[in-house]
Amino acid sequence: MSFRLPKGGRLIDRSAPCRFRFNGKEMSGFQGDTLASALLAGDQMLMGRSFKYHRPRGVVARGHEEPNALVNLGSGAFFEPNQRATVTPLAEGLEAESQNHWPSLETDVGAVNGWLSRLLPAGFYYKTFIHPRPAWKHVFEPFIRQSAGLGRAPKESDGDRYEHFYRYCDVLIAGGGIAGLRAALKAGEAGSRVLLLEQSTVWGGRAVVDGARIEGRAATDWVADALARLDAMETVARHSGVMVSGVYDHGYVLAAESLSGHTPGGSTPRERLWRIRAGQIIVAAGAIERPLSFAGNDIPGVMLAGAVRDYLADFAVVPGQRVAVITNNDDAYHTALALNAAGVDVPVIVDARAELRGALVEEARGSGLRVAAGFGVAKVTGGKRVTGLALCDQTGNGTVREEIACDAVAMSGGWSPAVHLFSQAGGKLTWDADQAHFRPDPSRAPTGADGAPFVSVVGAANGYLEGSAALADAAGEPIPEPQEDPIAPVWQMPAQAPVALREKTWLDFQNDVKVSDIQLAAREGFESVEHAKRYTTLGMATDQGKLSNINGLAVLGDALGKTIPQVGTTTFRPPFVPLSMGTIAGEARGPLFQPLRKTPMDGWHEMHGAHWEPVGHWRRPYCYLRTGEDPKAAVTREVLNARENIGLLDASTLGKILVKGPDAGKFLDMLYTGRMSSLAPGRCRYGLMCSENGFLMDDGVVARIDDDTWLCHTTTGGADHIHAHMEDWLQCEWWDWKVWTLNLTEQFAQIAVVGPKARALLERLGGMDVSSDTLPFMHWTEGEIAGIPARVFRISFSGELSFEIAVPAARGLELWEKLVETGADLGAMPYGTEALHVLRAEKGFIMIGDETDGTVIPQDLGLNWAIAKKKPDYIGKAAQARAHLTAPDRWRLVGLETTDGSVLPDGAYAVAPGSNQLGQRNMIGRVTSSYYSPTLDRGIAMGLVERGPERMGESLDFPLIGGGVTKARIVSPVFYDPEGERLHA
Amino acid sequence: MRDLSDKSAVQVEALPQTGMITLRVELTEPGLGETLARLGLSLPATREILTEGAGQIAWMSPDELMLIVPLAEVQATIDTLKDGLSDAHVLVADVSDARARFALSGPGARETLAKLCPVDLAPGHFQPGELRRTRLAQVAGAFWMTGPESFEIVSFRSVADYDERLQRDAAAMGVEGLSL
């Protein structure tokens, strides 16, 4: 059984008990425990079921590298899956559930998968795709979805809050062990602005746990002194509980902080994402211990030797009463000695190395511990718990020499430097054959804009596993000679293990990948490490192979007859450990998910039944619902009212870009297909803008303000990108043209007053002569309306008599309310964007984004009249002469009139007989806009049809989704007032 | 390290409209200095904002300045600029209505703003007299310091509600445990 010793545990407060629930069972631990240590203390070694075979699994590690002890935490809005129990601080009332078990952790029906494991080999998943074809959908997919997996997806939206924080420094140090502290002291003493981040809540790393002596002092004292010295430095800041998660180009670093004092749903953030820009990054992330590959190495009770030591020192928790140690290096002897000193029985230290000379070995022997040199483990026995192990010759085939009873195993396969952060931004590794690990190659570090390395690595992460060497490395001092005996690389135990053992030997605990799986992948031709990884899913679980990577590479190399450096590593990618979605989103959720742009009249719309629709980041009223109306009825009312009385449209969202300068006319002639330089001051002209490829990208009315000033209206969505487009050309191509631009979209509120009685309403408000003689169609004027300074543009997007009035934004609401009140008896009422669409479609006016989709040129839309053919050039002109764009069979704009008066589905395709080379039905056109026209009381549509305008009167077939065909006749796109008498009124 | 354990609440206040004028001009334009002098203003250096009398003038880009004056003086200021620079290639426009303004103040104001803006806000790295154009979370904005613990923030009118909520939320979550 695992249990807590009566004394010790440097991180726990025995006076502060914490009650919690695991799978509904009441348990208790102490303040300072992790969930994993508290579970172990309560003899709950079994913590989860494995991904594929539902094998019972217990905790293996101490920290973020833990593959097995994943739990669902919390419930409802505070539910979170896949949380590592090893880094989850115990809190009063905590609720945790193990994952992937059914019906219960103790009795799991899915464990039958384990018996079927011969039918579920590596690549099983991919093979099910292929043969027989229907089997995937009907047999395999439902089965895999039911049985595989880890945590459940949360059902409710996250009840907690998150934030980002931008931080700058000269030197960022990732890791607060002794190497990180030493590097921070050095950088701080040099006067650098230092940010030191430690992922755990305690400083000093392994040195403190192992009770090392540093520079003649106890590690705890050395660490306390280092922290005091750092805190005395003005330019140094240090934070614990902040995990450096990713290193990116240009010294950009992401780090995630879990806020310790947080209560679920509280006002403070649960997690914080640090977005750091660092001049130099020093990685002092330590090393991660590797498991050994022997049969039964995943049975609960088998743990990493370093972790066993951690649990003992940090929490006074031991995994068993008889703990066997299995190793290929000296480090695990620390564990044996610590257990022995704590009074825990260590029946054997199994050491794969045949010759042992080191001081630690002698110390162990001197303490009366049995060291079995040159031995391996044939298998560990047990089901839900270790019951013993079988010794064999390491060099042999697993013939059992002796069986030893134990209830826990501490294993060490050596240590791998935590090179992740170094590698993420492009740092390359070198294989250190003596220490049997990859370590950073300083000559191939990630480089910055200046070509110089911006990431360096110190301490254990740099391959200096012993404390004194790590410290010297961080200080930039000569590295002392190693004190420990060299490791013996052991990638399989025993060396000649038969398949019966290899298929019980786990590499990747989290994704259930065994030694035999990697060997199968190699036999099936997956020789590249990247392919073998994907085929077997080795290292693809949430732990990203922190424990399994090197062992997997070694097994693959062995199967292929290659060395580990020949096999190479897979790519390390951020994040180091998974980040929660909330942390990534930061403040951008709920009402702050996206900025919502509001016009000055937004509040009025809200109060008057606005039924909103998003247009870019703006929200605009789609229509204004009156009591008892649905949107369709409201739109019908609004359209008819604008045709018969007065419609008011909030057009403030339209882009308004001021263009000024001696070369402004020349500039606009290049930007628009039409000629703007010849426009007289006081006049307006409709303009089209094309991309360099000739495709129509925006349209709008341009007004000439004075000799060298034009005001360009853009679409709502186009304002920002058209302004950027202008500046791009001015700054990059025509940098010597004297033109200034300014985006004044937000400066003005703009209101369209539309309908036969519009003039009467403006005359009532007074202040400006808006008669047809003074202000004809496509003119503008300036003055005051109702005492408000205003520009009035006589332009129309509805086909009716129409004035667009621009006033300073702060007075927009005032004008709007006056128009509504004063025009009440004239029938003035607002209309929304849907009525706007219907009104323009009735007139055959195109809409950017409906009639255009990035592949349409003005000529397709019959807009040749808006192209100044005599102009030598404009953006898009050359492209529009290309063969494809001048082809006679291009799809061109027409009106479509259903023979039965119904409304064509938007986007419907017109079909022709026969099929194309892909066997698809030939298509000759599509609907681009389609509405019910209240004015005509029938469906109207516009569409792009092959040779459309040449086929007036022809009837086209539009098949409907769900069957049937609607027939529509090709007609002029102008359905209403084709002579334009009304807008000229 | 600055000690923020004794944090006081950070105040967010929406400010009323003020006069703002955009001047696009080559900063080497002859007559620019003289024209600004007639307004009691001088030419700011790169990323500088000068407070002179009732007015302020800010460097916005290598060819753009922003003048901040009382609303009542906007038209007169525009007239003076246009008059003084009548022969020059300039664009002068009233943008007073285009903006939303906020004051953010308190001992944790720097840290609060650093939650929203990718700017080095550490003392010594951002100081009164500097103006920074940047973004506040997802929208464009600019700010400068009006005192050792206070900022004025400007952004666009249409996103005023978003901005205010953004700042209030950031302030409400506190600054404990942060360092700049």
pLDDT for the residue A111: 67
User: Which ipTM was obtained for this model?
Assistant: 0.96
Distance (Å, whole) CA A553 – CA A532: 9
pLDDT for the residue B150: 97
Please name the residue of chain B whose CA is at the shortest distance from the CA of residue A653. Answer: B158
Q: Do B139 and A595 touch (CB under 8 A)?
A: yes
Residues of A in contact with B179 (CB under 8 A): 167, 195, 237, 239
pLDDT at B7 over 70: no
Mean pLDDT for the stretch of residues A300-317: 98
Burial of A500 (0-12, 13-18, 19+ CB in 10 A): exposed
Q: Do B159 and A231 touch (CB under 8 A)?
A: no
Residues of A in contact with B99 (CB under 8 A): 746
* Rounded percentage of chain A residues whose pLDDT exceeds 90: 88
Nearest partner of A753 among A682, A604, A650, judged by Cα: A650
Spatial contact of A638 and A838, defined as CB atoms under 8 Å apart: no
At A495, is the pLDDT very low, low, confident or very high (cuts 50, 70, 90)?
very high
- State the DSSP H helix or E strand holding residue A481, giving kind and residue range, or none if neither: none
Token couple for A712: 């360009």
Looking at CA atoms only, how far is residue A762 from chain B in angstroms? 24
Of B63, B97, B178, the CB nearest to A165: B178
Q: Do A598 and B158 touch (CB under 8 A)?
A: yes
Q: Do B89 and A166 touch (CB under 8 A)?
A: no
Please name the residue of chain A whose CA is at the shortest distance from the CA of residue B63. Answer: A740
Site of tokens 């007032």: A977
pLDDT at A572 over 80: yes
Spatial contact of A18 and A90, defined as CB atoms under 8 Å apart: yes
Alpha helices in B85-159 (DSSP H): 109-113
pLDDT at A294 over 80: yes
Distance (Å, whole) CA A133 – CA A110: 25
Looking at CA atoms only, how far is residue A228 from chain B in angstroms? 12
Q: Do B179 and A231 touch (CB under 8 A)?
A: no
At A725, is the pLDDT very low, low, confident or very high (cuts 50, 70, 90)?
very high
At A542, is the pLDDT very low, low, confident or very high (cuts 50, 70, 90)?
confident
For the stretch A438-492, pLDDT in tens is 999 999 999 999 999 999 999 999 999 999 999 999 999 999 999 899 999 999 9
Mean pLDDT for the stretch of residues A31-55: 93
Residues of A in contact with B162 (CB under 8 A): 592, 595-596
Q: Do B93 and A742 touch (CB under 8 A)?
A: yes
At A375, is the pLDDT very low, low, confident or very high (cuts 50, 70, 90)?
very high
* First CA to last CA distance, chain A: 94
Alpha helices in A524-630 (DSSP H): 529-536, 549-560, 564-567, 581-585, 602-607
Residues of B in contact with A163 (CB under 8 A): 115, 170, 173
Mean pLDDT for the stretch of residues A668-679: 98
Token couple for A37: 């240590």
Choose the most confident range, by mean pLDDT, from A39-53, A544-558, A849-863.
A849-863
Distance (Å, whole) CA A858 – CA A264: 57
Please name the residue of chain A whose CA is at the shortest distance from the CA of residue B163. Answer: A595
pLDDT at A120 over 60: yes
Looking at CA atoms only, how far is residue B106 from chain A in angstroms? 18
Q: Do B137 and A744 touch (CB under 8 A)?
A: no
CA angle, A870 then A873 then A879, to 5°: 110
Q: Do B179 and A744 touch (CB under 8 A)?
A: no
Distance (Å, whole) CA A256 – CA A276: 11
Residue type present at position A810: A
String of DSSP letters for A56-78: EEE---SSTT-SS-EEEES-GGG
B33: contact with A, CB 8 A cutoff = no
Looking at CA atoms only, how far is residue A362 from chain B in angstroms? 47
Q: Do B117 and A746 touch (CB under 8 A)?
A: no
Spatial contact of A571 and A425, defined as CB atoms under 8 Å apart: no
Q: Name the B residues in 125-164 with CB < 8 Å from any A CB.
A: 125, 137-139, 156-162
Q: At what angle do helices A178-189 and A219-231 cross, to 10 degrees?
A: 30
Looking at CA atoms only, how far is residue B159 from chain A in angstroms? 5
Spatial contact of A20 and A94, defined as CB atoms under 8 Å apart: yes
- pTM of the prediction? 0.93
pLDDT at B2 over 60: no
Cis peptide before A132 (omega within 30 of 0): yes
Q: Do B89 and A738 touch (CB under 8 A)?
A: yes
pLDDT for the residue A146: 66
Q: Do A591 and B166 touch (CB under 8 A)?
A: no
Query: In whole angstroms, how far apart are CA A418 and each of A37, A202, A537, A793?
Result: 23, 18, 21, 67
Cβ pairs A/B, distance under 8 A: 123
Question: Residue B56 — left, alpha, or beta (φ > 0 → left; ψ -120 to 50 → alpha)?
Answer: beta
Mean pLDDT for the stretch of residues A687-711: 98
pLDDT at B3 over 70: no
Looking at CA atoms only, how far is residue B54 from chain A in angstroms? 22
For the stretch A780-815, pLDDT in tens is 999 999 999 999 999 999 999 999 999 999 999 999
pLDDT for the residue A112: 65
Sign of CA dihedral A627, A629, A635, A637: negative
pLDDT at A661 over 60: yes
Query: In whole angstroms, how far apart are CA A550 and each of A190, A513, B68?
Result: 38, 13, 63
Q: Name the B residues in 87-106 with CB < 8 Å from any A CB.
A: 89-91, 93-99
> Which residues 6+ apart lie within 8 Å of A828 measured at CB?
A645, A646, A647, A648, A753, A757, A761, A819, A820, A822
Q: Do A195 and B17 touch (CB under 8 A)?
A: no
pLDDT at A260 over 80: no
Mean pLDDT for the stretch of residues A820-848: 98
Of B114, B120, B166, the CB nearest to A592: B166
At A93, is the pLDDT very low, low, confident or very high (cuts 50, 70, 90)?
very high
At B1, is the pLDDT very low, low, confident or very high (cuts 50, 70, 90)?
very low
Of A165, A592, A746, the CB nearest to B156: A746
